[in-house]
Structure 1
Amino acid sequence: MNPDYLELYLVTDRRKLSDEEFLIRVEQACTAGVTVVQLREKEVTTADFYQLALKVKAITDRYKLPLIINDRIDICLAVDAAGVHIGDDELPVWKARELIGSDKILGVSAKTVERSLIAQSEGANYLGVGAIFPTQTKESTLVPLEEVRAIVEQTDLPIVAIGGINETTIQTISGMEVSGVAIVSEIMYAKSVSQKVVDLKSCVKKMKEGELNEYQ
């Protein structure tokens, strides 16, 4: 896959939004420049997830962006999404790859070098590494920056940093050679989604060029 798709990776959250407002915000983010959208729905029926995925895919197709489905391979296949992202407690990576086929994107969450190397050997296209910083979106064990560096150095896959990333904390991972950052609430609940995306894209560009100050 093209690592450029991972630069500003929107992971959705609609818990505090109406369906209409959720879709508006997703479209605003796409218009403003996110590079990929992951639809994450943990507490809905399969039927509702399917219908929502169709609506979100209509948006991402309009902007020629990949749609990734969190965890649910059945939904990914049903709506012909670009790919699926699986966590530590989902199917084995090799089985997920077998089910989705060779053409779809397979993202895998990783917190350790060991998990990252297994994912790489079993067919992952990219790694989601985190949580880097504390986040209110979901409970997650933090990954030390030293482990993030080790994963970057010891694997060949593109890496997306996730967890508590904003315009300030992104400075901490500047220079680590990650391909991009995944953002949830910072975009989904921004006062102005469009402006937030523009600001974050600028930060990501500077991060990748090593122009941000580093805290480490």
Structure 2
Amino acid sequence: MPKVDYALMYVTDDSIKDDNSFFHILEASLKGGATIIQLREKTCDTQTFYQRAVRCKEICEKYYVPLLINDRLDIALAIDADGVHIGQTDIPYAVARRLLGKSKIIGLSVSNKEQAEQPNAQAADYIGISPIFSTNTKTTDLAQPLGILGLKEIRQIYKKPIVCIGGIHKDNTQEIIANGADGIAVVSAISNAEDPEAATKELKEIVCKTGTN
């Protein structure tokens, strides 16, 4: 598998129903330096998800940036995405790996140290600590935020890349990277920004500067 840069993952905002706005923000994030994209659709029908995925792949390929599909292995297979991001209650990691093959990226959400110690997490290409801080982006049953202390505990027992998501913005990104995360995943910090490209660029610069210190 090629080396993946997990510095800045833009997770698409499924509250944006207008495709023009949706893809404008996606491309702005890529111009600003997003290193990986995760297409997340929780409410639309399968056909709409598929159509967005096809277009997302075309845009991501133009910028040579990997595209992951959230949860939906069928969509990932249908468009030959670069991988999937799955949660604790989604399709088991072993099944996803068998169907996707060894060359694809598989990330797994974890909400505590115990989940990070499990075989699924240890086998995944990266884990997403979710949530690191409180967030309003996801409205369904979220675990308690792990915070910096939780990140540091997981970093001690997890050797592969860690990406944090949840309540992340330019003012707390440095702290996250300084305490062991390899990257951040953001939704509203980009999608709700007045200038998504500039917001992405600013976040990327913080991640890269902190990561080299």
**Short-chain TM bin:** over 0.9
1-side partners of 2:151 and 2:173: how far apart? 13
What is the percentage of aligned positions where both structures have the same residue?
A: 37
Which secondary structure does the structure 2 equivalent of 1:115 belong to?
A: helix
Q: Measured at CA, do residues 176 and 164 of structure 1 come closer, stay the same or move farther in structure 2, by a change above 3 Å?
A: same
Aligned: 1:175 with 2:175: no
CA-to-partner distance for each residue in 1:72-112, whole Å, 9 max, x for gaps?
00000100000000011112222222222211100000112
1:159 to 162, 166, 170: 162
Q: Which runs of 4+ in 1 moved over 3 A?
A: 1-4
Q: CA deviation at 1:2?
A: 5.8
What CA RMSD, in Å, does the superposition of the two structures yield over aligned residues?
1.6
Partner amino acid, structure 2, of 1:181? I
1:208 to 205, 208, 211: 211
Q: Measured at CA, do residues 126 and 3 of structure 1 come closer, stay the same or move farther in structure 2, by a change above 3 Å?
A: farther
Partner amino acid, structure 2, of 1:146? L
Which secondary structure does the structure 2 equivalent of 1:69 belong to?
A: strand
Q: What residue is the counterpart of 1:117 in the other structure?
A: 117
2-side partners of 1:67 and 1:153: how far apart? 28
Which secondary structure does the structure 1 equivalent of 2:131 belong to?
A: coil
2-side partners of 1:3 and 1:10: how far apart? 18
Tell me the TM-score normalized by structure 1: 0.91
Q: Measured at CA, do residues 97 and 4 of structure 1 come closer, stay the same or move farther in structure 2, by a change above 3 Å?
A: closer
Partner amino acid, structure 2, of 1:21? S
2-side partners of 1:53 and 1:102: how far apart? 21
2-side partners of 1:65 and 1:14: how far apart? 20
Corresponding pairs, count = 209
Q: Measured at CA, do residues 113 and 187 of structure 1 come closer, stay the same or move farther in structure 2, by a change above 3 Å?
A: same
Which secondary structure does the structure 2 equivalent of 1:53 belong to?
A: helix
Tell me the TM-score normalized by structure 2: 0.92
Q: CA deviation at 1:178?
A: 1.3
Which secondary structure does the structure 2 equivalent of 1:168 belong to?
A: coil
Partner amino acid, structure 1, of 2:209? K
Counterparts in 2 of 1:64-79, with a 5 A limit?
A: 64-79=64-79
Partner amino acid, structure 1, of 2:171? T
CA-to-partner distance for each residue in 1:120-176, whole Å, 9 max, x for gaps?
44x310000021111110142211322211211101210001111111122332422
* Higher deviation after alignment, 158-167 or 197-206: 197-206
Gaps of 5+ in 2: none
1-side partners of 2:183 and 2:116: how far apart? 17
Q: What residue is the counterpart of 1:55 in the other structure?
A: 55
1-side partners of 2:149 and 2:94: how far apart? 27
Partner amino acid, structure 1, of 2:127? L
Partner amino acid, structure 1, of 2:31? T
